[in-house]
Amino acid sequence: MYRKENRILLPMTKKTINKDLIRIASSLISKKQGKLIALGVVEVPEDLSLSYGAIPARRFRKIISDFAETGQSERVEMKTLVGVSRQVWQEVIDSAQRERCNLIFLEWDGKVDRKRHFYGTTMDEIAQKTPNDIAIIKPGKGREFKKILVLLRGGAHAKLGLGLAASIADKFNSSITALHISTPTPEQPQKDKKDLRVYLEKHTDLADKINIVSMPSLDVEETVLNFAKDYDVVIMGASATGDEKTLLGPIPQKIAKKLDATVIIAVTAIPSQVPIFESEKKTIVARPAKKDISEIVDRWFAENTFHADEFSDIAKLVEFKKKRGLTVSLGLPTLNEGETVGKILSTIKSELYDKYPLLDEIALIDSNSTDGTQEIARDLEIPVYIDNEILPSQGTKKGKGEALWKSLYVLNGDIIVWIDTDIKNITPNFVYGLVGPLLKYPRIKYVKGFYRRPLKVGDTLRGTGGGRVTELTARPLINLFFPELSGLVQPLSGEYAGRREVLEQVGFYTGYGVEIGLLINILEKFGLSVFGQVDLVERIHRNQSLSALSKMSFAIIQVVIEWLEKKNKVYLLQEMNKSMKLIHHDPNNFYLDVKEIEDTMRPPMIEISEYVEKFKKLS
């Protein structure tokens, strides 16, 4: 029987997976140990940045999530992934390695054409490039899986084929017949039947569960087709053994094409030179080749950029929260926010605490407001903590970062959400948009919000123009020294959420540098893959004066320089990244564009001989 701790990858083509594949895959894993991983791949042409895949990836996530709910009827855990790649087949192989899968299911239409691409390549190339077992499956025509036929030729894939058959039979209470076509000599069928029986007794637990048939024939194709016509599932090993160059020789191709049954081609990870019945070779996960930082960021942008609308089904988020056994806390840092804090608290509390229990806790973390902010919160029965009264043994410092750091001590959730309290257009999506990726995708550990930021000039509200510190200070510094973070649309946004297991392991800067400091520290400790970002649509708030923005910029620059010095990255001119990611918007999409920006330093003019000679004459 195929091992029950399987992690099986199901790549999606045509934005769907045949339900028979799910039924078969579910028979190969146990509820507690195994996992099905549904993978959707967005293919981006070579002449476009991978970041162009962000919007198609969002659509694919919806399709694949709906598909996963359909798969739940088989009572197995299904994880969903959406990847962005230049080549579908390469993403299939890379995802199988990243997710530690030992088996890949590939759906097949039964046609074989050496010029025809299969997932953008050929079956043979996929098998050659991946260290995983593969099951190539041609779905049948609606039959039940009651009768299974295994075609045994004694090749290197025999054990895998028998294991798949045993697991399917165990799940669906099926009968198994093993058919071997022998040479037409009087003694050969009995000899082959005996050898197969010995093999089953030695290598499997199927000896008493399988009917062995050995038939002499010169016309293998016709014999198999006549014998197999009454079977629901036909399993055979691939042909890639010895000197053969393809997975499917001409006879298996014809058999698979003509049968109405579900056909499974087993491709073991065992190299062809390994003895036929040797135990399966352990999967070797190859180290992925180092990729260009621009491509890494583009891929991250496309795969990890979400929209709040993807998580607008709050009841479903509550189900995810309960299923994963998580609690969620919302902390709101305040300092004289009486004008806006009441609406923010009442909006969030009524929708995400009273109506839907998405939040387990809401608390104000106040820095000694004097405008009634605390009283507004208490009137709404929201707990208020004064930041300089939390952890008094640690002393008191001023700044938003201090309040956030200390809030980890008084908030109790497994997931911590922070939003600023000067938002004038508050809606629940500011919170559920941040929480959604953390509840739905365990791989995501820290989520930043982004949005359009209108800029008020006099009495006029311009649609864009906010985020001046981001564009003039933070983004250039990030592109120079932390290019992995260059795909973040608004790295300094005040709306973000993270898992406690991450937040408690990184330092917090106490003032304006808290946002960029968290990004750098989390990147250093956990890597880019744990980040997500969510489009929260639009944020209207009071705009800061240029003087205030200057102070913010000064603090941010200090944080970056201090971090570089601590990490001994002092040879800045040698290590400086000179490509910059630019965020481009058009009516239907947004994407990243990379520009190489490199200034060449001219020497002082006093070192130019012509200049010196001229000015000597004039003096």
Summarised one tens digit per residue, pLDDT across range 256-294 is 888 889 999 888 875 434 332 233 333 333 333 445 788
Instruction: Return the bridge partners of 237, or none.
Output: 266
**SS3 call for 505:** coil
pLDDT value for 33? 67
Determine the average pLDDT of the residues in 137-141: 85
Q: For the chain, what is the mean pLDDT? A: 81
> Which of 137-146, 543-552, 591-600 is modeled with the greatest confidence?
137-146
pLDDT value for 619? 44
- The rounded radius of gyration (Å) of the Cα atoms in the chain is 31
Give the C-alpha distances (Å, rounded to integers) separating 313 from 316, 352, 414. 5, 12, 21
Q: What are the tokens at 269?
A: 């990870």
Indicate the burial class of 195 (C-beta count within 10 angstroms; 0-12, 13-18, 19 or more): middle
Strand ranges for 475-530 from DSSP E? 496-499
Other Cβ atoms less than 10 A from the Cβ of 384: the count is 17
pLDDT value for 248? 66
> What is the per-residue DSSP string for 409-464?
HH---SEEEE--S-BSS--THHHHHHHHHHHH-TT--EEEEEEE-EEEETTEEEEE
Is 451 within 8 Å of 494 (Cβ atoms)? no
Determine how β-strand 133-138 pairs with β-strand 361-366.
unpaired
> What is the per-residue DSSP string for 144-194?
-S-EEEEE----TTHHHHHHHHHHHHHHHT-EEEEEEEE-SSSSHHHHHHH
> What is the per-residue DSSP string for 85-109?
ES-HHHHHHHHHHHTT-SEEEEE--
Determine the average pLDDT of the residues in 235-257: 68
pLDDT value for 560? 86
Torsion of CA 539, 541, 543, 544, to 10 degrees: -110
Among 141-155, 285-299, 363-377, the minimum mean pLDDT is found in 285-299
Is 114 within 8 Å of 148 (Cβ atoms)? no
Residue with the bigger pLDDT between 132 and 156: it is 132
Summarised one tens digit per residue, pLDDT across range 73-83 is 556 678 888 99
How far apart are the C-alpha atoms of 55 and 66, rounded to whole Å?
17
Question: What single DSSP character describes residue 495?
Answer: -
pLDDT value for 419? 96
Best CA proximity match to 240, nearest among 248, 231, 252 = 248
pTM of the model: 0.73
What share of the chain has pLDDT > 90, as a percent?
34
Among 462-471, 522-531, 579-588, the minimum mean pLDDT is found in 462-471
Chain centre to alpha carbon of residue 354: 32
Q: What are the tokens at 43?
A: 């293919």
> What is the per-residue DSSP string for 240-252?
-STT--SSS-HHH
> Which of 249-258, 434-443, 451-460, 511-520 is modeled with the greatest confidence?
434-443
Is 447 within 8 Å of 498 (Cβ atoms)? yes
Q: Does domain 7-267 have CATH number 3.40.50.12370?
A: yes
The number of helix segments (H) and strand segments (E) in the chain equals 21, 22
3-state helix, strand, coil in the chain (%, to 5): 40, 25, 35
Summarised one tens digit per residue, pLDDT across range 15-36 is 666 777 888 888 887 656 678 8
Q: What are the tokens at 190?
A: 């009995």
* H/E stretch holding 309: none
pLDDT value for 536? 94
**SS3 call for 600:** coil
Handedness of CA 314, 318, 323, 329 (dihedral sign): positive
Determine the average pLDDT of the residues in 415-441: 95
pLDDT value for 329? 97
How far apart are the C-alpha atoms of 94 and 85, rounded to whole Å?
10
Other Cβ atoms less than 10 A from the Cβ of 347: the count is 16
How far apart are the C-alpha atoms of 312 and 316, rounded to whole Å?
9
Q: Report whether pLDDT(157) > 50.
A: yes
Name the CATH superfamily for 312-578.
Answer: Spore Coat Polysaccharide Biosynthesis Protein SpsA; Chain A (3.90.550.10)
pLDDT value for 244? 45
Summarised one tens digit per residue, pLDDT across range 288-324 is 344 578 889 999 999 999 999 999 999 999 999 999 9
* H/E stretch holding 572: helix 572-575
Residue with the bigger pLDDT between 550 and 106: it is 106
Quickly tell me which residue has 């049948």 as its tokens: 140
Determine the average pLDDT of the residues in 379-391: 95
pLDDT value for 397? 87
Summarised one tens digit per residue, pLDDT across range 178-230 is 888 877 776 776 777 777 777 777 666 676 778 888 888 888 888 888 998 88
How far apart are the C-alpha atoms of 514 and 556, rounded to whole Å?
8
Give the C-alpha distances (Å, rounded to integers) separating 450 from 307, 403, 461, 589. 10, 22, 19, 15
What share of the chain has pLDDT > 70, as a percent?
79
Residue with the bigger pLDDT between 106 and 499: it is 499
Summarised one tens digit per residue, pLDDT across range 570-609 is 554 445 555 657 677 777 888 787 766 454 455 665 777 7
Residue 443: partners with Cβ closer than 8 Å, 6 or more residues away: 529, 530
Quickly tell me which residue has 């594949």 as its tokens: 21
How far apart are the C-alpha atoms of 142 and 232, rounded to whole Å?
9
**Domain range list for the chain:** 7-267, 312-578
Among 10-14, 281-285, 410-414, 506-510, the minimum mean pLDDT is found in 281-285
Best CA proximity match to 514, nearest among 398, 388, 598, 377 = 398
Residue with the bigger pLDDT between 546 and 191: it is 191
Determine how β-strand 175-182 pairs with β-strand 210-216.
parallel
Is 180 within 8 Å of 153 (Cβ atoms)? yes
Residue with the bigger pLDDT between 115 and 338: it is 338
pLDDT value for 602? 54
How far apart are the C-alpha atoms of 396 and 387, rounded to whole Å?
8
- Alpha helix ranges (H) inside 307-389: 314-324, 341-349, 373-379
How far apart are the C-alpha atoms of 350 and 341, rounded to whole Å?
14
Residue with the bigger pLDDT between 617 and 5: it is 5
pLDDT value for 436? 97
